[in-house]
Amino acid sequence: MAVPSFRLDDSVALVTGAGSGIGRRLAIGLAEMGADVGCLDLPQSDLASTAEAIGETGRRAVALPADVTRAEALAEAVARVERELGPLRLAVNAAGIANAAPAEDMPVEQWNKVIEVNLNGVFLSCQAEGRALLRNGGGSIVNIASMSGTIANRGLTQAHYNASKAAVTQLTKSLATEWCDRGIRVNSVSPGYTATPMNRRPEVAERVARFEADTPLGRMATVDEMVGPTVFLLSDAASFVTGVDLLVDGGVTCW
Ligand code: NAP
């Protein structure tokens, strides 16, 4: 038997959160592995630069300004990807937000907003993508969760974020089993501390040294280091992998 391919040649993919950080790098990485990519993010984000970088790889990109908390916007985005690029087969859901407040002081609006984007947004994205994949005979979805779904980060008061990410890994397992007999695999990648704009928030800026000390590999990840694990899960090389949460955390959860 031939070694299964890690490539994504001529597949059509949708990536949410593609205007910044991990989502942007993953959208470009999927194109580097041969996919055409629909790039979704909020209207104010810099989708143009992601689309331009994808163009430089020789693949096609469509910029999709949309909010992952709006089901109609996601349905329209999927329809546009399919109109302009072809039948959807792959999806990565990386859109997310983070902030912090002590649990005893956190206003319910702050709790709800993080749950709305990080959990409801991933569910609605999977739903819109899953409907297309079911129509198209299958495919593969990767949700970007976090190691914060497995551990509570030392020194960070972000109960809402941690809870949302734990829920994403359980949502992933649930969808994996619902769609397992219809050709769709659903997995999650859980990054550890990664150098992105999320880690330049004022409340975490001073903590980077602590993040690095808490990481057995001694540093934060680069966004480049999220590409291989995500591509693996999307590709035929992972054809027997579904419902898995792949921790890409430099060993943090070992300590
Ligand atoms: P980022 O640079 O802030 O990228 C997230 C992107 O999602 C931003 O462009 C953001 O737009 C967008 N977004 C926010 N709300 C949205 C919505 N309602 N609809 C559509 N797009 C929306 O952050 P990142 O660090 O790359 O994070 C990407 C994913 O990795 C997130 O799910 C995050 O929780 C996860 N993660 C990150 C780390 C880390 O250390 N960086 C660790 C573990 C997991 P705005 O900038 O306008 O908000």
Model pLDDT for residues 48-100, shown as the tens digit of each residue? 999 999 999 999 999 999 999 999 999 999 999 999 999 999 999 999 999 99
- For the chain, give every domain's residue range: 12-247
Judged on CB neighbours under 10 Å (0-12, 13-18, 19+), 72 is exposed
**Neighbouring residues of 109: CB distance < 8 A, sequence distance ≥ 6:** none
pTM of this prediction?
0.98
- In this prediction, residue 206 carries a pLDDT of 77
Give the count of alpha carbons within 13 A of 98, CB side only: 21
Residue 1 has pLDDT above 80, yes or no: no
Give percent of the chain with pLDDT exceeding 90.
Answer: 93
Better-predicted residue by pLDDT, 155 or 199: 155
- In this prediction, residue 219 carries a pLDDT of 95
Which amino acid type is present at position 112?
N
Residue 205 has pLDDT above 90, yes or no: no
Q: Which atom of ligand 1 is nearest to the CA of 197?
A: 2
Residue 46 has pLDDT above 80, yes or no: yes
Q: Over the range 43-57, which residues count as b (16 or more CB within 10 Å of their CB) and which as e? A: eebebeebbebbeeb
Q: Average pLDDT in the 217-241 region?
A: 98
Question: Which residue has tokens 């693949």?
Answer: 59
Residue of the nearest CA to atom 6 in ligand 1?
17
Q: Over the range 177-209, which residues count as b (16 or more CB within 10 Å of their CB) and which as e? A: eebeeeebbbbbbbbbbbbbebbeeeebeebee
Q: Are 194 and 223 in contact (CB under 8 A)?
A: yes
Domain 12-247 adopts which CATH fold?
Answer: Rossmann fold (3.40.50)
Confidence label for 124 from pLDDT (cuts 50, 70 and 90)? very high
Residues in contact with ligand 1 (CB, 6 Å cut-off): 16-17, 19-23, 41-42, 44-45, 67-69, 94-98, 117, 121, 144, 146, 191, 193-194, 196-199
- In this prediction, residue 199 carries a pLDDT of 78
Residue of the nearest CA to atom 11 in ligand 1?
42
Q: Which atom of ligand 1 is nearest to the CA of 220?
A: 40
Q: Which atom of ligand 1 is nearest to the CA of 19?
A: 9
How far apart are the C-alpha atoms of 88 and 82, rounded to whole Å? 6
Residue 149 has pLDDT above 90, yes or no: yes
- In this prediction, residue 2 carries a pLDDT of 83
Q: What is the pLDDT of residues 181-201, one digit of tens each?
A: 999 999 999 999 999 877 777
Give the count of alpha carbons within 13 A of 26, CB side only: 34
Q: Which atom of ligand 1 is nearest to the CA of 25?
A: 26
- In this prediction, residue 76 carries a pLDDT of 98
**Chain mean pLDDT for the chain:** 96
- The active-site residue out of 123, 161, 179, 193 is 161
Residue of the nearest CA to atom 29 in ligand 1?
94
- What DSSP state is assigned to residue 120? I
Residue 198 CA to ligand 1 centre (angstroms): 7
Residue 15 CA to ligand 1 centre (angstroms): 12
Provide the CA 5 distance to its chain's centre, in angstroms: 22
- In this prediction, residue 200 carries a pLDDT of 75
Does residue 161 have an active-site annotation? yes
**Neighbouring residues of 73: CB distance < 8 A, sequence distance ≥ 6:** 66, 67
Residue 93 CA to ligand 1 centre (angstroms): 10
How far apart are the C-alpha atoms of 126 and 148, rounded to whole Å? 21
Give percent of the chain with pLDDT exceeding 70.
Answer: 100
